[in-house]
Amino acid sequence: MNFLDMRWDIVWNYREFFINGIWVTIILTVCGYIGGIILGVLLGLGKTSKRKWIYLPCKLYVDLFRGTPMLVQILIIHLALIPAVFGQSFGFIFSGITALVLNSAAYNAEIIRAGIESIDKGQMEAARSLGLTHGQAMRKIILPQAIRRMIPPLGNEFIALLKDSSLVTVIAANDILYAAKVVAGAYQRFWEPYLVAAVLYLILTYLVTKLVAFVERRFSISYNPRKKREGRT
């Protein structure tokens, strides 16, 4: 394939598909990640519990979703689970976000569990000895310190989820990859549309990487009094 012979005009002709695909990809990723964080916090706290009736279901959930391919999860949720529960399908957006939330929650739960358990146990004991309940100690002492350690792996999970969102195209989601498939099918040319799709994912990933680095710096300053004072001078 001679790169000088590439026809970028065919991609331009379908630019609206790619623009719409970018928005769909962003919506799927952001909604899936926010939901995954919320559910992941509950699961992560559950995995730190000493009560087996809380710990075991959380562990089973995490093992199930981390141990099976996301593609299979998407198909089961879209074609079997949602129709069985609601009696009908609600489209690729609902199914896609549901699948991404459930999958992301399992990975976020492990990140949150590891972050909490990385804090010295003596801090919890000291907080309890001062009269704080377990919940108060977790909220005021443990979690603020653990969050700093969670940011890099949570950022990596965000990036992974952004790329994995392309799998939702199997249920006819009109995301970036779907736009590339439309162009490839219309012209029977594969270099141009898939290269453009790869570049678009690369740009989105780069932006997320910069956002994570910014958040990490902000948390580092906010939890470091010396850096905070130096920043004001």
What CATH number is associated with residue 224?
1.10.3720.10
Surface-to-core class of residue 133, CB atoms within 10 Å of its CB (0-12 exposed, 13-18 middle, 19+ buried): exposed
The per-residue pLDDT for 3 is: 56
* Nearest alpha-carbon partner for 142 in 161, 114, 168, 167: 114
Q: How far apart are the first and last CA of the chain?
A: 58
Neighbours of 25 (CB within 10 A): 27
Question: What per-residue confidence (pLDDT) applies to 2?
Answer: 54
Rounded Cα distance between 123 and 127, Å, is: 6
Res 224: pLDDT: 55
Are 110 and 66 in contact by the 8 Å Cβ rule? The answer is yes
Residue 67, judged by CB atoms within 10 A of its CB (0-12, 13-18, 19+), counts as exposed
Q: Which domain holds residue 138?
A: 3-232
Q: In whole angstroms, what is the distance from residue 198 CA to residue 219 CA?
A: 31
Whether the Cβ atoms of residue 165 and residue 24 lie closer than 8 Å to each other: no
Q: What is the pLDDT of residue 225?
A: 46
**The predicted structure's pLDDT at residue 221:** 62
pTM equals 0.84
Residue holding tokens 């965000």? Answer: 158
Angle at 223 between CA 220 and CA 224, to 5 degrees: 80
Strands (E), 45-133: none
Ranges in the chain, pLDDT < 50: 225-233
Domain count, the chain: 1
pLDDT reported for residue 233: 42
